[in-house]
Amino acid sequence: MTSTSSGPFALWVYLSQTPLLWLTLTLLVYAAADAVSAATNRHPLANPVLHSVWVIGVILLLTGTPYPEYFNGAQFVHFLLGPATVALAVPLYENRKVVLSAVVPMAVAVLVGGITAIVSIVVLARLVGLPTNVVLALAPKSVTAGVAMGISESLGADPSITAVCVMLTGIMGAIIVTPLMNRLRITDFRARGFAAGLTAHGIGTARAFQVDTVAGVFAGVAMSLNALVTSLIVPVAVTLLMR
């Protein structure tokens, strides 16, 4: 045996290449972040996504682990995003009466909110003088990553910039929604959840479920509807705003 293939280093080389290590790390870091979140009574700043992400990011940096190696393990968790979206049907079904009674407010809010999300970011981005390709990549930042990247690609922008901005929007939206709504004295959990899901997609929806089930249901509906509305509106909005 050579010195590099024995001892702790060999174990590390072996473990870091199996999915087990990074899957375990993902679950444990999240469990810790979630415990902190629960201990602080779900304080917005103790957002479990935010803290899991930076802690794991630092660990990968310190161990010099490339992201694909990490994802090899973490993909088992990532895969569940699809089934979890399908699973939203259950709380939606259980709260169908509340949801059906709010069809008109939801339809108006998704149109107005969806347009606001696009117009506000495009106007602000041009105001601070960002280059056109970045402005285009920012436009769909309020919708779920897969859809947003597709939109960005169809506009000829860089989808990886979009992915970063989608994630930042999700985390920031999930952090500010509760204090903002409290400050504005908006107590209707349907409206609060709907705004969270529309603005901050799945991460906003996860936050809404932490606060209230009805808020979570409305967030899930808003997230799904906004994916549709935004993919239809972005091309039009961008042509009008970028002239």
Q: Per rule CB under 8 A, is residue 189 in the interface with another protein? A: no
Among 10, 19, 91, 241, binds another protein (CB under 8 A): 91
CA-CA distances (angstroms) from residue 35 to 25, 50, 51, 159, 180? 15, 14, 11, 34, 24
**Residue 128 binds another protein (CB under 8 A):** yes
Residue numbers 63-82 binding another protein by CB under 8 A? 67, 70-71, 74-75, 77-78, 80-82
User: Mind giving me the DSSP string for 115-131?
Assistant: HHHHHHHHHHHHHTT--
Size of the site for another protein (CB under 8 A): 108
Least CB distance to another protein at residue 230 (A): 9
Pick from 186, 236, 240, 242 the residue near another protein by CB under 8 A.
186
* By CB under 8 A, residue 98 contacts another protein: no
Which one, of 234, 231, 175, lies nearest residue 206 by Cα?
Answer: 175
Shortest Å distance, C-beta 136 to another protein:
13
Q: For 71-99, b where at least 16 C-beta lie within 10 A, e where not — what string?
A: ebbbeeeeeeeeeeeeebeebbeebeeeb
The one-letter code for the residue type at 221 is V
Q: Print the binding letters for residues 142-171 with another protein: x by CB under 8 A, - otherwise.
A: x-xxxx--x-------x-xx-xxxxxxxxx
Quote the CA–CA distance of 35 and 224 in Å, as a whole number: 29
Q: Which of 14, 40, 57, 63 binds another protein (CB under 8 A)?
A: 57
